[in-house]
A = this chain, B = another copy of it.
Amino acid sequence: MANEPRLSRKNDPEKTRQDILTVATEEFTTHGLAGGRVDAIAAKTRTSKRMIYYYFGSKEALYLAVLERAYRKIRSLEADLELSNMPPELALRTLIGTTFDHDEANPDFVRLVSIENIHQAAHMQRSSEIRELNIPIINTLADILERGRDDGSFRRDVDPIDLHMLISAFCFFRVSNRYTFGTIFRRDLSSPELYNRHKTMVADAVLDYLKAQP
């Protein structure tokens, strides 16, 4: 597949679109929406600025396309973990580990979400695709919580969205605030040592909380 023998294939719209989106993602995640330069994106692309406007219409629309693509990617990754067969405690530990690793592995996504929050989620709200995004993790959590209460392993009665927030907050913060936190406390938050310690810590903290006597 390395060499396409056909010389004549030059137009490749889908590839061009994806190329623009990839470059734009990097530009926006490193400079923000206002700080990102369309000319800089054009220069790093195999194509031209004209094409950016041809395919996406405006800088904001391009940013939104970047955001939607990022959310589409996480949604596709989130499904199929087969947690419903596991005992509740193991299922939850697995889910927390997955969330932790997801944020760790996708700093671009974390940064885009941070940028969206600075803009008060204005673009996300205008996107029906993202707004109607139904995060399946909530149903999974609700199921785990219910089973855990039923079999007596969880004694606390917690709202699944609150629980998701408790988990997400730590995993997200570790990545989103890596630079300021690292600077102030002189810590490299991307070191393997801290990765392991923190991953264990969130899981333990959440499980201890759910198991404790209210």
Contacts and interface: CB of A to CB of B under 8 A. Distances in A.
Interface string A128-169: 001101010010000000000000000010110110111011
Contacts of A184: 124, 130-131, 133, 135
A204 interface: yes
A125 interface: yes
Contact of A182 (B121, B202, B206): B121
Copies of this chain, tallied across the complex: 2
A11 interface: no
A118 interface: yes
Interface in A95-136: 111, 113-118, 120-121, 124-125, 130-131, 133, 135
A10 interface: no
Interface string A166-181: 1011101110111111
Contacts of A164: 185
A138 B34 CA distance: 36
18 contacts: A32-B35, A113-B177, A114-B176, A114-B177, A117-B177, A124-B180, A125-B183, A135-B185, A158-B201, A165-B173, A165-B174, A165-B198, A169-B170, A169-B173, A173-B173, A204-B212, A205-B205, A209-B209
Interface of A: 31-35, 111, 113-118, 120-121, 124-125, 130-131, 133, 135, 138, 156, 158-159, 161-162, 164-166, 168-170, 172-174, 176-185, 187, 197-198, 201-202, 204-206, 208-209, 211-212, 214
